[in-house]
Structure formats: structure tokens, C-alpha cells
Structure 1
Amino acid sequence: MTETLPARPVPGLDEKALLRAYRTMRTIRVFEERLHDEFATGEIPGFVHLYAGEEASATGVCMNLDDDRDSISSTHRGHGHCIAKNVDVKEMMAEIYGRTTGSCHGKGGSMHIADLSKGMLGANGIVGGGPPLICGTALAAKLRGDGGVGVAFFGDGGSNQGTTLESLNLATVWNLPAVFVAENNGYAEATASSWSVGGGSIAARAAAFGMPGAVVDGFDFFAVYEAAREAVERARTGGGPTLIEVRLTRYYGHFEGDQQTYRSTEVTEARERLDCLKRFRARVTAEGLLTDEQLDQVDADVARLVDESVEEAKAAPLPTAADLTTDVYISY
């Protein structure tokens, strides 16, 4: 049965945790907006797919995870997932610039940032490529018995891939400690999910695989956090997998340079009325949980971090010809 979870007060989020949540979301937003500007200069190689507008999803989910025992798989739109899983921001920026100081030594770029030490298996240029990986890590965690959980992020386009559907089935058959997070931002590139997703919703498909399914408001950090908390706890305690559909809106095109002729005024509305950062700030200050001064300080810290990240990335060395034969599985 699929249920729509309402936003309501969530226990366990003290002042420190709330500041961490806001810092993560603000870092994702500023990182992506800066990349939007930097990519226009022509200095960044390859394609860039921005996550701005979706910050509450990655943050709300990953706030429930550990670096040492939990793992995530990502998508081509993976910067937000990386930041939420505590991948170093400066190493990420260097990776996007293709520098040796990057988290993958400049060999992965925007669509393949990874940090296995943080349980971040990597952004992935293959649509639907992440869920099978998570079945593997979840099976490993189950065999180890350490309570580890695997989380697969994928989009509405990825929800229609055979790899994703097979992974949902396998997770149920093996009763894996896995959580599948479908980030439905309305479009698979330029194809509307309202047209391409059969069955009414992505989450409704959970019933076919014998797992719980939920639809949550992706503009509301607290709603995402609660849905993920319940799903992660279920997985840790042997209750098996869960499918969560997070509904949100990306603020930029599918990729940088996308003219977005297929979209209406939804982005303007999302930025003005639904923005997850604005909603978070409004709620925590109204309830006396955090002050504007605390949040303003986070804003300043994040702006400084992203500035430093760009400066250091541009100054870092590019890979050399000798680097071509490193980080491979065979010796030359």
C-alpha cells in the first residue's frame, strides 16, 4: 500500500542536527549555483547536471546514514548526493575541473565522483545503473550482520529501467537492507514523468514487489527525513527494502545548456513558494529551534568554502600522461 506522508515534527533532530541539515542543503545549493556560473566560462570539461532545488532529498535521506557501514549509489545528477554523504567539497570541485587533487584524481569528472571511504559508490552516467550496485552492498551488509544499509538514488527516468525493476525484485526476494529513493523531478531529460510513468506513481509499484512504498514532498526536509528514518530503521532491523518517491523540481535544465523549452513556469513557482531552504528556515526560526543569526553564519561559511574550492581547483595540476595507467585493475 502506498501512503503519502505528511510533514510533522520529527524527534531526534536537536540544534546540532538541524544546523548540520541546513549546512548540507546550503552547501549543495551554493555549490551548484557556482558551477552554473563556472561552466559558462568553458573551463569545466564534459557535461554537468545540476541538483539545485532537490537538496532536501539527499540531505533528508543521508542524515540517517553512517559513513562506515552505509552506502549509496547515485545518478548523473550526483553532486548533491556526494555532499550529503560527506564527500569532501574541495575534492569534488577539483574532480569536476579534472584536476589530480580531485576525489578520483581528475579521472571521473562530474558524472563519476566517488569516495568509497564515505560509502559513496559514485555518481553514474548509466541511467538505472545504481540499484544493482546497492543490492550488492546490501547483501554484503546482511552477510556481515553489521546493520549496514544500502540506498539507491535514481530518477523518474531510471524508474523505468529494467535494472531498477530487477533490483526491486531481488531486494524483496533476498530481503535486503536496502532503500530505493526515486527522485521524481518531473522529467527524464525532456520527457514528462506524468506521461512516461505508468501506474499512477513510482511508489505505487512497491506493492508489486511486496515492499512498503511512500510518496513524500521533496521540498520539505522534515518529510523526507521522517520517511527515510522509518525506511532505514526497517532495513537495519531485518524488515527488508522500501521504495520512496520524492517529488521535487530541479531548478536548472537536464544539463547545462539545456534550453528547457519543454517546461512551464513551475521552476519560478518552486523557487518562490516551495524552495526547501526557505521552508526550512521559516519553520526552524518560527518554532525557535534556530535563529536567523545562526543560519546567516552558515551561509557565510558555505560561501567561503565554495569560493576556496573553486580557487584551489583552478590552481591544482592537471593529470599527466603517466597518470593514464594508474587506478586500473591491471599493470602495464
Structure 2
Amino acid sequence: MKKSLAVMLLLLTLPIVLAQATVERVSVEVYSSGYVKVTEVVVPFNYSVAVEVPLLSENVTGLSVLDENGKPLLFEKNRSVLTVYVLNSTTRITITYFTDSLTSKEGKVWNLTYSFPYPVTIKLPPGAIVVDLSDVPLTITSNSITMPPGNQSVSYILPPPTTSTTSSPSPTQTPTTTTTSSTSSTPSSTTSSTSSPVAIPSTSTSPGEPSTPASSGGRNLLPILGLLAVVGIPAVAYWARNRKRPGGLPISKDELKEKLEAMGLTDEEINALLYVYDQGGKAKQADVRKALGIPKTTAWRMFKRLEEKGLVRVYKRGKENWVELVL
């Protein structure tokens, strides 16, 4: 206690120099109830006295600011900016907090929306199915998505609650949860948001709990719903009508198709490349996925594979990703 008071007096007597810092990692863990746990890891520059750190939301609770040894640091919050007072010996700041202001629900679709100047790694609830992304992710793993800086949104749906573990309680009380008791004390109404986060740490302290049942142990977080999209008859008819060689391309459309089929490409990959051929050999990636009914993430992965095979070149022009055939 005396040490904390001494540090406070020292900080008050020193001129406050708001130093820059390096944001090492920002992660978001979304719960099935809509609550979000945010973790920000910041590395202050040398000789820092106070560091300003942006928060993902103004309305936060359970705010914790610790140094590299797990000891609390003094801080001051002003809306969505956190001022952390550090000493020269501080090498890393870990900030954690909870909020329910980043998620919203429309029907069965949940939306995670935020604006942040740094990349954010998002972990959705177990079994969540991504249905839309505002931008192409920086990375995708089996249980997380890393979105680029800026205004971002991730839309997802949750599987229906399992009845095997909730046969005795009334499932109508918690339609948006997948557990039986750990989330029943976290109501989603904003009038009781100050007491709801009390139950959140109990779920975060046992991250392995959702994967313990045999029914959910093998699930991946990102089974993209758009993989079920199939190219329709009108698109096939469109390709059949456009067999001429546009833009002076070196081979005909039939020759290109035979070449792609001989390489063992999927129908979806062949149709995408033929569409680009019809546009003169280059097209916006967004136009390709819209024409074929492919979700953003599926199209991004597909063109990544085709680029690795040397069939296309993916480049950025302005804010758009373009795809060009390599013939």
C-alpha cells in the first residue's frame, strides 16, 4: 500500500509525457451470450511515464491492467482511451476487460462490429459458423480469424442448443447458450450489465470446457456456410455463350478449359478462371465471387491456391483485390 502511494505521488510530481507504445497483440474471445473478452498486450517504449492505449469499446467492465510480472499498474480511463502509468522497468502491459457493446443479433445472425487501428484476432464460440466478413482476413486458423485494422464486422450463427446436456432444465430460458449453468447467470439485458460479467470469468478460466463433450470435440470454428454454394445453370449458360477469345489472349476458352481440367482443378476453380478469362484475363475478386455466389473467405482461399499453382496473379488496385490470369 505504501509503495503504491509513493508511486502515485511520484507520478503526480513528474510531467506527464504520453509516450508511444507497440501494440503486440489484440485478441477477442466471443461468448455464446454475446459478451466479449478483450485482451491487449502492449510494449511501452523506453523511458515512458504514461502510455495511451485505445480500447475497443467505451463501455467495459472487469478492467485489469498488469505488468509483465502480473502486478497491477495505475491507469486512468477516458471514454475509449486508457492512460497507463508505467515505470522504466515495465516491459509489457497486459490489459483485459469485458464488454457487451460489440455484438448485436438480427434473427439468428450475430454480428461482431468494431473499429480499431490494429489487427484483431477473433475467437468465436464453439461451433459458430461464419456467414459474412467485411474484409479479407489476414490469417485464418481452425479456431480464430485475424482481421486487418479499420472498421470490421464478422457475422456468424450459432448451432441450436444441445438437448443431451439440458434435458432437466428448461431450455427456453437460455435460447442463445450452449451450456447448462455457466451462462445462465449472464443475462443479455443492458440494465444488469454491471452484474453480468461476474459469471464471465468462470467460463474463461476453463477454456477447455466447450470442447470436452464428444459431440463437439471435433468441430472447427470456421466451417464456412458458403461452401454449400453451387454454380447455377444461368452461369453455365453464360460461359457457354462466351467461347470467343477476348482481349487477344494467347489461347482460346476451350483450350484453357481443357488445360485446367487436365490439371485436376475443381469445378469451382475452373469456373472462376473461365469467368476471369471472359473479362479479358483480369477481374475484380469481388466480381468473381458475386458472379459465382462464393463467400469472401472461400474466394480468398481459392485464389490463394491458384496463385500458388502459378495460374493467377493477385494484386491490389486501390481498395480492390484483382485477379489476373497467368497464361
Q: Which protein has the larger Cα radius of gyration, Structure 1 or Structure 2?
A: 2
**Fold equivalence (TM over 0.5):** no
TM-score (norm 1): 0.21
Relative contact order, CA 8 A, sep 6+: which one is greater? Answer: 1
